[in-house]
Amino acid sequence: MATVIPDQKRIGMVSLGCPKALVDSERILTKLRADGYAMSPDYAGADVVLVNTCGFLDSAKEESLAAIGEAIAENGRVIVTGCMGSEAELIRAKFPAVLAVTGAHQYEAVVEAVHEAAPPSQGPYIDLVPQAFEDNGGIKLTPRHYSYLKISEGCNHACSFCIIPSLRGRLASRRIDAVLREAEKLVAAGTRELLVISQDTSAYGVDVRHEERMWKDHAVRTHMTDLARELGQLRTPDGDTPWVRLHYVYPYPHVDAVIPLMAEGLLTPYLDIPFQHASPSVLKAMKRPANEAKVLERLKSWREICPDIAVRSSFVVGFPGETEADFQYLLDWLDEAQLDRVGAFRFEPVAGASANDLPGAVPEEVKEERYARIMAKTEAISAAKLAAKVGQTIKVIIDEVGEADEDGDRGATGRSQADAPEIDGAVYLREVPDTLKPGDFVEVQVEDADAHDLFGAIV
């Protein structure tokens, strides 16, 4: 019989924005759970509701303000945190009833605000909570089998379209031994896929001059390549090598050093590189780092070393000053690059970004037309790449197992190594065994494909 903690306070959470914000939400909830709070799945059962906001784009700010308004209407006791916390005056002007406003990754301030709004229960069982949760990786907002591993905060770049440095500060790398310890605990607790995230994964450790720390019986540098090599040594409790996926990787020269680790099977052969554009003039206006890198030659080299590597990226269309020639340059570049997964965004002014003052604003109808063209281009590339996989046997991680139909057949949804959760495609499986469960690795024969997804059966 479960022990009931007298007068146990319950916390609701609305988490918006990117995976980095999701990690912040997990850390906040883990600390609150360790302090004796319970979690509420709805507004009605919560003593206080936390809204973790996104403030990157004006559309994201609108979504965040709408979420705050809904939480106040449904519950009334609301604490706001996250990137929009930098605009506390705006939030308080619109929602005077908000109990507190804190900024991005200000964990202590959030917890303190919760303690003040809904003091934690006191009892003989509270002190038993922290270690148990620490050993099991804390509270997760993702499925049990995959986890985000945040290695740093902030960013040192000054891209003209971005306000992340003003929201989250300059680069602040976590100690590499702390990152590896967290990864080890997550894998021991059931994580079979680690997604390494930050604002700039390639810059990890620059702020601490790549200092060395002892890990196990040897020294490791606070550097992306050392981190990748050590993560490749992790094993699940049943001896499998977990997938380790690198996100937000700027194409600095040292990125070349992680490709052999992918070829050896220590890292998932996947790189998420935010190219943003290909035209030199647009990249210069964006103030993008590493825009002189000979990316096409390096892509070719990476594929020679690791033929299975999948490269995903995102691009902005309609940036101020982007001409038809610039956009055509991007389309031609994509024909050459043959990227596996691509997302595109229409340029959107962000309050505080220097790009807003650039001349040559692109009309909305032109943005829409270019967006449609880039999506058609990348969809055709994706369709051809996936069609080439028909007949192959690939490794898949299972995300979801369906209910049996009237004939007793059961389907499942998984992902290949080329697919990150939430943002890429899926692998749909037919007639899977009853014993299959989320987090299982299986070998799949690919039987069909469309522009984004694969279809097949377990070998």
Q: What is the mean pLDDT of residues 193-209?
A: 93
pLDDT at 293 over 70: no
Mean pLDDT of 229-256: 92
Quick one: pLDDT at residue 27? Answer: 83
The DSSP symbol for 87 reads G
| pLDDT one-digit tens code per residue, 223-242 | 999 999 999 999 999 888 99
Residue 169 reports pLDDT greater than 90: no
Q: Report the Cα–Cα distance between both ends of the chain, in Å, rounded.
A: 43
Q: Which long-range contacts (C-beta less than 8 Å, at least 24 apart) are formed by 25-30?
A: 25/50, 25/52, 25/141, 26/138, 26/139, 26/140, 26/141, 26/148, 27/107, 27/138, 28/52, 28/81, 28/107, 28/110, 28/111, 29/138, 29/139, 29/141, 30/133, 30/138, 30/139
Minimum mean pLDDT among 135-144, 175-184, 384-393: which range?
135-144
Residue 145's φ and ψ, nearest 5 degrees, are -85, -10
Location of structure tokens 């992680």? 258
55 pLDDT more than 50: yes
Tell me the per-residue pLDDT of 304-316, one tens digit each, with 9 for 90 and over: 999 999 999 999 9
pTM of the model: 0.80
Dist CA 330 CA 336 (whole Å): 10
Specify the pLDDT at position 418.
95
Residue 415 structure tokens: 């992902």
Query: Per this entry, what is the length of the chain?
Result: 459
- Could you write out the DSSP letters of every residue in 323-351? -HHHHHHHHHHHHHH--SEEEEEE----T
- Kindly list the structural domains of the chain, giving each domain's residue range(s) and its CATH number in brackets, ordered by start: 10-132 (3.40.50.12160), 140-387 (3.80.30.20), 393-458 (2.40.50.140)
Residues 6+ apart with CB under 8 A from 365: none
Using the predicted structure, report yes or no on whether residue 292 has a pLDDT greater than 60. Answer: no
pLDDT score at 429: 96
Residues with Cβ within 8 Å of 406's Cβ and at least 6 positions away in sequence, in order, are none
Q: At 424, is the secondary structure helix, strand, or coil? A: coil
pLDDT of residue 130: 47
d(CA 327, CA 58): 24
Range picked from 15-19, 60-64, 339-343 for highest mean pLDDT:
339-343
